[in-house]
Amino acid sequence: MTNIPETGRSPRVQIRLVVIQVLVLSLLGTLGGRLWYLQIREGEEYAEKASGNHVQQVVQPAVRGSILDARGVPLADNETRLVVSASRTDLMKMEDDGKAVLTKLAGVLGMRPQEVMEKVRLCDAETPQPCWNGSPYQPIPITDEATPKQALQIRERAEDFPGITAEPQAVRRYPSPGEANTAQVLGYLSPVTDEEIKQAQDSESPYLRSDQVGRSGLERQYDKQLRGKAGVTRYEVDNLGRVIGKAESDAAQPGSNLVTSIDARVQRVAEYELNEAMKAARKEYDRNTGTTYKADSGAVVVMEARTGRVVAMASNPTYDPNAWVGGISSADYKKLTGKNSNYPLLNRAIQGQAAPGSIFKVVSTAAAVEAGYDFDGSYQCSSAYSVGGQVFKNFESANYGAIDLGRALEVSCDTVYYRLAHQEWKKDGGTSPKGRPKDHFFKAAHRFGLGKETGIDLPNEVSGRVPDREWKQRYWEANKDAWCKTGKKDGSYVEKIAYENCVEGNKMRAGDEINYSIGQGDTLVTPIQMATIYAAISNGGTLYTPSIGKAIVSADGRKVSEIEPEAHGRLPISDATRDKMDAALAGVATRGTAAWRFGGWPQDEIPMHAKTGTAEVYGKQTTSWFATYTDDYAIVMTISQGGTGSGASGPAVRKIYDALYGVQEDGSIDRKKALLPEPAKSLPEIKPDGTIAAPKIAEDPVERERATGQDEEAPADGGQPQDDAATVATPAAENRQTRRRRRGAGRGGTTGTGAGARTGTRGRRRCA
Amino acid sequence: MSGANGFQVSGYGPERAGWTRVFARDSVARRLDWPILLSATALSLIGAVLVYSATRNRTELNQGDPYFFLVRHLLNTGIGIALMIATVWLGHRTLRTAVPLLYGASVFLILLVLTPLGSTVNGAHSWIQLGGGFSVQPSEFVKVTIILGMAMLLAARVDAGDKPYPDHRTVIQALALATVPMLIVMLMPDLGSVMVMVVIVLGVLLASGASNRWVFGLLGAGAVGAVAVWQLGILDEYQINRFAAFANPELDPAGVGYNTNQARIAIGSGGLTGSGLFHGSQTTGQFVPEQQTDFVFTVAGEELGFVGAGFIILLLGVVLWRACRIARETSDLYGTIVAAGIVAWFAFQAFENIGMTLGIMPVTGLPLPFVSYGGSSMFAVWIAVGLLQSITVQRPMSA
């Protein structure tokens, strides 16, 4: 068989065979190389893709933690509703895609089968609502208002309802215990946005599409702690979405509960009295405008003086936070945010800012002492003070003669402060200071914590404003173009002001500093800032950072992280000055501008201190301020366009104290009726199962009070030991207005001429 | 097992004396190329496991019996080995005389496919249903007969000692012989098989020692032909789409590019050692279509990883390496051409099949030799192994 030697191996063939062999090897080498590239070099990436391919997540939402008051009474909690849901994956496995089951279910729930089908279909471009736009692996809720009977029917006949579950689920609820609304402090939730989901995707606590996120108030501030962590079960699915295995599952971790320092009863009293005070103010006649007061908004803060903890914080107008639960309707949303709503969502205790009026005088007094003036010195309280031809009058042109600073606080003598401020202004070099001006009055304000946020544990606090030289410069730079454009030397009042501002709006004029010294002009403060200051005067000088959160308690009750009160500064006053100031402010309550509001107050048992303020706003009615404190609490109330400090806010504040301490009509103290004679010291009891014990919610504390005593009649205007008079005030929304410190050109005579002292001759500047 | 039975029936008796004879020096068993035999067997058995992994959950395919495909794959392997033994028994030279008959029969079969007797799978009208779930894909056998037919023509005068190389006339005859079935297969249209046949023709021509002009001419003609096929719209849309998806798999991830993407994800996710046999989520989740046949390599890639998939390539490499050796060491041109044709066939088909799962070749419906599920392919490749064995058994012993 081999007589044909070597032909098969002729050189040409031999070479070509080698070529073939090399080609074959290179092909195999290519495959090997590519295999290495895919599996080893890019293997991770493909593994990830593969898991994305076949793993589907099913999420069990975490129950949101409750927000409790200091006694454990829930201010925000969850309500259990019976939710019937359908599992799409199970339904799709059925021959008719689950139609029969859904029809049967519709019968049980009393719905039309059509309706139920629509709820479980998936949304896409062509499918109109209703449809499901969540994950198809997530149980799709059909109703959250199932009755226990319906739920029972479904659960007992599970074999008839494959893929259908009827389970209790938590829905947010704001129960308003004892009518305490607390709306702006609590805040609200709204569904998470796509952007937030994306942002939180790789973080430790990613959002679910079904998640609700805190949008304001405590709900937002403590969102992370309240939210908990959703449970996730990962199922392996095949290419048709059928479950072929369970990969892993993390149980849901319910959110922690937040114990606050709010006392729901005090909160209710504060809300009620604020509202009553505003209603009363609307009946009062305002001589300046010739109408009744508008009292368009107001706020009150009740703070523990020795910790800065907020016991009550009310803002008016208000709203029902339950409007947000289950998605807010567009009509409700409009009502809450529309132009005519007066913005009830604003928490005016931290977001409303206005000129403080005479309650600012504690700052000016401290500044004067700092500047070297003796507290007990003798200062002229004349009926008026003139600067460069301009006359700054005392309130009602009262003349008290030579008095010390304590008495000046007591009677709220403007001219004493005018004089001191003017002297300091001159010492600092007038409008064109040489070197660094000392600016005692402005520095004191900063050291009292004004002009910046207090740092309360609520979002979006505003900072207020100290109208010092830096601010004037910045403000002038931002506005001079507009001023110089509209300003006319001999034009209308507004044009003249613009002209002056254009020329020297960046300078500290005598009138600016004089106005500033009594809390008028461009100064802006928030109620929470003033509460912090008056609490500090009460506690010996420590400025506490206000706080509402008191402790975060894990859902099982095992982990309790208390939020300790923190100080962020001390008042720039010596103990001696504080004591004298304390005595003077007690004098305000006993014989000064607020005395008529504290008639019959058991001053010996519960020393009361107060300062009234009435601030003016150009084009508006006066803002009422009332700042008070005892050894335990500081209460600050303000009412925009509400009238005088003690007139509008006085009775309400008095009643809050009455409720706190159980002070009766006759001045006696009934400890049994006292809501909170001393601040709560301990946290509410945490039961072994993690729930927090709450006392039985009594009836509306206001009702109780009403039952015992009758409303005290507010003395009619006039004839009383006079309160402050007009002062500049600025509600949050209109702080711009404060700029016009020449208030009401039309009203009080000259609009001022000279540089600066624009405050005019009108003697109404005064604070009580 | 029918394979073992075949062994006995074929006369390789189990008696001790018989075995001694079988393994005696210069005996057939001693002269067999065992690396090829063992590699091919290993590939077939690995294929059985992979096919089982791919189909045990596919109830819509396996008629409720998870072992349906496993059993059939093993049966096919057994029949294939029996066919190999028969081929060795007959010898490639004996078969040489039967080539006209075999060729005629295979062309008849592919013509039959074009009649209403044929059936269409995945767009290619390449099957004849035999009933009972069995079907035949005659184009697989045509690959063998093209090799045998061309080798017979090209080697005839050279082996007779008349000429050192085949002359032009012979080459033209050989090309004509290959073109007829290729045209028929293209009508099916089974583009993958045509591509394999073109490569086989090239390999055969190269090994025959035909003039370089023919080799390069054929390469040029192939290129022109490819352009013509593209331009004249002979291809169906699905075929064009497959090529488009090859160029850009992200083009239509849910449609045409789906196979490519899922196959690549399956293989890529395997990493070094794979997810473990029967633990591949891509495989279990049935994300890769046609996974027991054309995309069987993805099962290996995902569940056995780089190690397992690389081992398959290595085994194929052993088969091809030894086949090249056989082609170089045989004494007659006929044997050389047959071996080289088989090398071209196996090499290209393996490269195309694995390459498409790796995303470096366009998707065509070609099985992976020995590994993919499919009777006709299994039989054809084992017959080819039989031819290789016959060539090596019958070559003169080197000194």
Domain ranges across chain B: 32-394
> Out of A23, A47, A54, whose CB is closest to B271?
A47
The torsion of the CA quartet B237, B240, B241, B244, rounded to 10 degrees, works out to: -160
CA dist., res. A555 & res. A544, Å (int) = 29
- CB contacts under 8 A, B 19-78 vs A, are 57
User: In this complex, do B343 and A237 lie within 8 Å of one another by their Cβ atoms?
Assistant: no
- CB contacts under 8 A, B 216-255 vs A, are none
If you measure CA to CA, which chain B residue comes closest to A47? B269
CA dist., res. A411 & res. A413, Å (int) = 5
Q: Which CATH superfamily is domain A56-260 in?
A: Penicillin-binding protein 2a (Domain 2) (3.90.1310.10)
For the stretch B106-144, what's the b/e string if a residue is b when 16 or more beta carbons lie within 10 angstroms of its beta carbon? bbebbeebeeeebeeeebbebbbeeeeeebbbbbbbbbb
> Out of A1, A2, A46, whose CB is closest to B265?
A46
End-to-end CA distance of chain A: 132
pLDDT at B231: 72
User: In this complex, do B333 and A13 lie within 8 Å of one another by their Cβ atoms?
Assistant: yes
Pairing of the two strands A55-60 and A291-292: unpaired
In chain A, pLDDT over 70 holds for what percent of residues?
84
Which alpha helices (H) appear in B14-137, and where do they start and end? 16-22, 28-31, 34-55, 59-62, 68-90, 92-114
Rounded to an integer, the average pLDDT of A4-17 is 70
If you measure CA to CA, which chain B residue comes closest to A24? B347
- CB contacts under 8 A, B 304-333 vs A, are 305-306, 309-310, 313, 316-317, 320-321, 324, 327-333
Using a CB-CB distance cutoff of 8 angstroms, which residues of chain B are in contact with residue A236? 281, 284-285
> In Å, how far is B90's CA from the nearest CA of chain A?
15
- pTM (2 d.p.): 0.61
Domain ranges across chain A: 56-260, 261-319+350-468+508-768
If you measure CA to CA, which chain A residue comes closest to B311? A32
CA dist., res. A499 & res. A486, Å (int) = 7
The token pair that represents A699 in the structure block: 């009836």
Using a CB-CB distance cutoff of 8 angstroms, which residues of chain B are in contact with residue A40? 271-272, 306
Would the CATH topology of A56-260 be identical to that of A261-319+350-468+508-768? no
The burial of A331, by beta-carbon neighbours within 10 Å (0-12 exposed, 13-18 middle, 19 or more buried), is given as exposed
Residue B252 has pLDDT above 70, yes or no: no
Say which range, A160-164, A235-239, A459-463, A718-722, has the weakest mean pLDDT. A718-722
If you measure CA to CA, which chain B residue comes closest to A55? B281
Rounded to an integer, the average pLDDT of A223-245 is 75
Residue A710 has pLDDT above 50, yes or no: no
User: In this complex, do B269 and A49 lie within 8 Å of one another by their Cβ atoms?
Assistant: yes
CA dist., res. B188 & res. A258, Å (int) = 75
CA dist., res. A265 & res. B265, Å (int) = 63
Size of interface A-B (CB pairs under 8 A): 180
In a mutational test of the A interface, the residue from B265, B273, B322, B349 whose CB has the highest number of chain A CBs within 10 Å is B265
Task: Give A462-478 as a 3 state SS string.
Answer: CCCECCCHHHHHHHHHH
Q: Which residue has the tokens 């890639």?
A: B301
CA dist., res. B137 & res. B142, Å (int) = 10
User: In this complex, do B269 and A47 lie within 8 Å of one another by their Cβ atoms?
Assistant: yes
Which of the four CATH numbers 3.40.710.10, 3.50.50.60, 2.40.440.10, 3.40.50.800 does domain A261-319+350-468+508-768 have?
A: 3.40.710.10
Q: Are B377 and B73 in contact (CB under 8 A)?
A: no
Q: Are A543 and A531 in contact (CB under 8 A)?
A: no
Give B191's Cβ-side CA count (13 Å radius): 20
Collect all residues with Cβ–Cβ distance below 8 Å to A705 and sequence separation of at least 6: A269, A655, A658, A659
pLDDT at A543: 95
Give B198's Cβ-side CA count (13 Å radius): 18
In a mutational test of the A interface, the residue from B39, B92, B281 whose CB has the highest number of chain A CBs within 10 Å is B281
The burial of A532, by beta-carbon neighbours within 10 Å (0-12 exposed, 13-18 middle, 19 or more buried), is given as buried
Residue A601 has pLDDT above 90, yes or no: yes
- To which H or E segment does residue A68 belong? strand A67-68
Whether omega for the bond prior to residue A677 falls within 30 degrees of 0, making it cis, is no
Task: Give B301-345 as a 3 state SS string.
Answer: HHHHHHHHHHHHHHHHHHHHHHHHHHHHHCCCHHHHHHHHHHHHH
Rounded to an integer, the average pLDDT of A684-696 is 82
Q: CA separation (Å) from B289 to A283, B246, B374? A: 82, 16, 15
The one-letter amino acid at B368: L
Task: Give B234-250 as a 3 state SS string.
Answer: CCCHHHHHHHHHHHCHH
Rounded to an integer, the average pLDDT of B349-367 is 90
Phi, psi (degrees; rounded to nearest 5) at A559: -110, 120
Confidence of residue A282 (pLDDT cuts 50, 70, 90): very high
User: In this complex, do A7 and B332 lie within 8 Å of one another by their Cβ atoms?
Assistant: yes
> In Å, how far is A133's CA from the nearest CA of chain B?
21
In chain A, pLDDT over 90 holds for what percent of residues?
43
Rounded to an integer, the average pLDDT of A30-55 is 83
What residues are paired with A387 via a beta bridge?
A390
CA dist., res. B44 & res. B378, Å (int) = 9
Pairing of the two strands A67-68 and A257-260: parallel
Residue A704 has pLDDT above 90, yes or no: no
If you measure CA to CA, which chain B residue comes closest to A247? B281
Q: Which residue has the tokens 């014989």?
A: A591
Using a CB-CB distance cutoff of 8 angstroms, which residues of chain B are in contact with residue A12? 165, 209
CA dist., res. A731 & res. A639, Å (int) = 8
More confident residue, B26 or B192: B192
More confident residue, A741 or A673: A673
**For A295-444, where are the E strands, in sequence order?**
297-304, 310-316, 379-381, 384-387, 390-393, 401-403
User: In this complex, do B396 and A36 lie within 8 Å of one another by their Cβ atoms?
Assistant: no
Asked if B360 reaches chain A (Cβ–Cβ under 8 Å), the answer is yes
The token pair that represents A494 in the structure block: 């507004």
Residue A681 has pLDDT above 80, yes or no: yes
Residue A767 has pLDDT above 70, yes or no: no
Q: Are A524 and A353 in contact (CB under 8 A)?
A: yes
Which tens digits make up the pLDDT trace of A133-156?
666 776 787 887 788 888 888 877
pLDDT at A242: 65
Q: What ipTM did this prediction achieve?
A: 0.89
Closest CA to A185 of A309, A335, A295, A304: A309
Q: Tell me the Cα Rg of chain B.
A: 21
Residue A743 has pLDDT above 60, yes or no: no
> In Å, how far is A91's CA from the nearest CA of chain B?
19
Confidence of residue A94 (pLDDT cuts 50, 70, 90): confident
> In Å, how far is A52's CA from the nearest CA of chain B?
11
More confident residue, A253 or A709: A253
User: In this complex, do B309 and A35 lie within 8 Å of one another by their Cβ atoms?
Assistant: yes
Residue A735 has pLDDT above 60, yes or no: no
In a mutational test of the B interface, the residue from A14, A15, A17 whose CB has the highest number of chain B CBs within 10 Å is A17
pLDDT at B249: 56
Q: CA separation (Å) from B144 to B147, B178, B200, B342? A: 5, 11, 10, 8
Task: Give B152-218 as a 3 state SS string.
Answer: HHHHHHHHCCCCCCCCHHHHHHHHHHHHHHHHHHHHCCCHHHHHHHHHHHHHHHHHHCCCHHHHHHH
- CB contacts under 8 A, B 361-390 vs A, are none
User: In this complex, do A7 and B331 lie within 8 Å of one another by their Cβ atoms?
Assistant: yes
Confidence of residue A692 (pLDDT cuts 50, 70, 90): confident
> In Å, how far is A70's CA from the nearest CA of chain B?
53
Using a CB-CB distance cutoff of 8 angstroms, which residues of chain B are in contact with residue A234? none
- Distance, C-alpha A258 to centroid of its chain: 16
User: In this complex, do A12 and B394 lie within 8 Å of one another by their Cβ atoms?
Assistant: no
**Largest distance between two CA atoms of chain B:** 65
User: In this complex, do B271 and A6 lie within 8 Å of one another by their Cβ atoms?
Assistant: no
Using a CB-CB distance cutoff of 8 angstroms, which residues of chain B are in contact with residue A19? 206
Mean pLDDT of chain B: 84
DSSP state of B135: E
CA dist., res. A595 & res. A481, Å (int) = 48
User: In this complex, do B267 and A49 lie within 8 Å of one another by their Cβ atoms?
Assistant: no
User: In this complex, do B358 and A34 lie within 8 Å of one another by their Cβ atoms?
Assistant: yes
